[in-house]
Amino acid sequence: MRLIGKGVSGPFGERPARGAGRLSPRRIAAFGFAVLSASVLAFPAGAATPPAAPPSKAAIEAQRQALFAKMLADPGNVDLALQYAALSSAAGDLEGAVSTLERLLIFAPNLSRLNYELGRLYYRLGAYNLAASYFTTARDAPDATPQIKADAASYIAAAERQASGQQLAGSIMFGARYQSNANGGADSQFVDLNGVRFVLNDAARADPDANGFAAAGVHFSGDLASQGDRFDADVGVYGSLYGKHGELDTAAIAGQFGPVFDLERFSIAHSSLGLYAIFGAVGLAGDPYLYTAGLGSVLTTDLDPASRARLRLEYRYESYMNSAARPTVSDMTGGRIRLSGDVRHQLNDWASLYAVAYGERKNALAGDDADWEAGATLGTTLRFKGPVESQARPWSLDLSVGVLQRNYDAPDPLMSATARQDREAFAQAALNVPVADTWSAIATLGYSKQLSTYDLYTFDNLSTSLALTRSY
């Protein structure tokens, strides 16, 4: 028997919305929300959160004493002074680190490294105007490297925002994307439905398409009355238009807002707890598709000077809206709770590693739309000097791979007597190339493969995109 249209038809009648409904939240809107999240949540933060102290203070103190003896024998040695200041900073003795570098600055007042490190220390102490002054000297010093100039400029902007008590940042992005399987169609021409072999119509098969997209985001952060506490708000919008598959045209808005508390008051050093409200909406092909609202919390801590970890818990209620194209998608309405954790470790100035793991539970009105899901991602970000010597900012290359498993609660009686299970693997590379002071070009290449116990949901997708983004 032949499957017609974009859904499944035959003796059980046509159901064009269920397959599309299941795929859309994860495939149609996923890229939009990924771009939106990059626009809203990935603003350069300078170094707004100070690095944490290493766990062994006794070992640090022993190293400090040894370095101090060497400094007495060679008081003009810049490298020794910087090492001593770094250890003092890690031990929490910021004033000691400052005094060490300021004494050395008498002998080398225009040395960019000394001024840069002093700026970082004063930034951590909350003396933002003084920090900006040192960063300016470091940036303008004759021996300043392109990296120091770029980092100092970021710190100056962050210090000026901190000095005013408020921070406002934003970004815009626009570009184009090509997908080998834009509609999430099945790989095979044949599918097995309840033991009966069906032939898929071309409309249900994988079909390539290109789309243009645009995104914008705004981040606001303002100091609260308590020292170290702040109020953060993020809002982003995303839109895309497809060449052939107009049913996938997407418009989305998402945001979150709430306080962030410094946990030093509870003797938990170098950590913060954020509590926030969540909202969002997605439209497909001009029809309302999804409204969501919820609450979240995120615990952030610096494990050591080079490593940061976050633990995030979110609950969202998702309300799906029926339309002529998707008349039964409201069966997916329900709550979603998600627990995730991520760790990033800075190997050096030019390379970092990160790992993300999550688990979530999705409830729904229909049991075959409710599921458990878990996944993990590993990646690295590499920064390097571009071929154009005049470029102050480095290029960056992000490489990531991941897997996920999704198990549904109940079988879809029209598909099989057993519940559906999906496994997916993916890989992506993204190259960020600065093209001006605030503009960058981002090229991505990705591949994903999903295997499912339901033939209709086994597919792969190769995608590539090119975008221009501006931060302000």
Domain presence at residue 52 = no
Among 54, 137, 135, which residue's Cα sits nearest to residue 89? 54
Q: How confident is the model at residue 48 (pLDDT cuts 50, 70, 90)?
A: very low
Domain presence at residue 451 = yes
Domain presence at residue 388 = yes
Q: Are residues 306 and 181 in the same domain?
A: yes
The dihedrals phi and psi of 177, each to the nearest 5 degrees, come to: -140, 140
Q: How confident is the model at residue 51 (pLDDT cuts 50, 70, 90)?
A: very low
Q: Are residues 77 and 39 in the same domain?
A: no
Q: What is the pLDDT of residue 151?
A: 83
The answer to whether 50 and 97 are in contact (CB under 8 A) is no
Give the alpha-carbon dihedral of 263, 268, 270, 274, to 10 degrees: -30
- Residues contacting 132, CB < 8 A, separation 6+: 119, 155, 156, 159, 160, 163
d(CA 379, CA 345): 11
Beta bridge partners of 223: 230
| Most confident among 7-11, 70-74, 299-303 (mean pLDDT) | 299-303
Q: Are residues 220 and 137 in the same domain?
A: no
d(CA 371, CA 421): 9
Q: What is the pLDDT of residue 91?
A: 67
Is the confidence at residue 168, as pLDDT, over 70? yes
Domain presence at residue 251 = yes
Q: Are residues 171 and 89 in the same domain?
A: no
In terms of pLDDT, which residue wins out, 12 or 377?
A: 377
Calculate the average pLDDT of the chain: 82
Helices 112-124 and 146-164: crossing angle, nearest 10°? Answer: 30
- Residues contacting 398, CB < 8 A, separation 6+: 379, 380, 381, 382, 428, 429, 430, 432
User: For residue 463, what is the domain's CATH number?
Assistant: 2.40.160.40
Q: Are residues 323 and 461 in the same domain?
A: yes
User: For residue 63, what is the domain's CATH number?
Assistant: 1.25.40.10
* Per-residue model confidence as pLDDT tens digits over 204-220: 788 999 999 999 999 99
* Per-residue model confidence as pLDDT tens digits over 413-468: 888 999 999 999 999 999 999 988 789 999 999 999 999 999 889 999 999 999 99
**What's the number of domains the chain is made of?**
2
Please compute the mean of the pLDDT values over residues 360-372 and round it to a whole number: 96
Q: Are residues 342 and 244 in the same domain?
A: yes
The dihedrals phi and psi of 119, each to the nearest 5 degrees, come to: -60, -45
* Per-residue model confidence as pLDDT tens digits over 114-165: 888 888 888 777 777 888 888 998 898 888 888 888 888 878 877 776 666 6
In terms of pLDDT, which residue wins out, 334 or 91?
A: 334
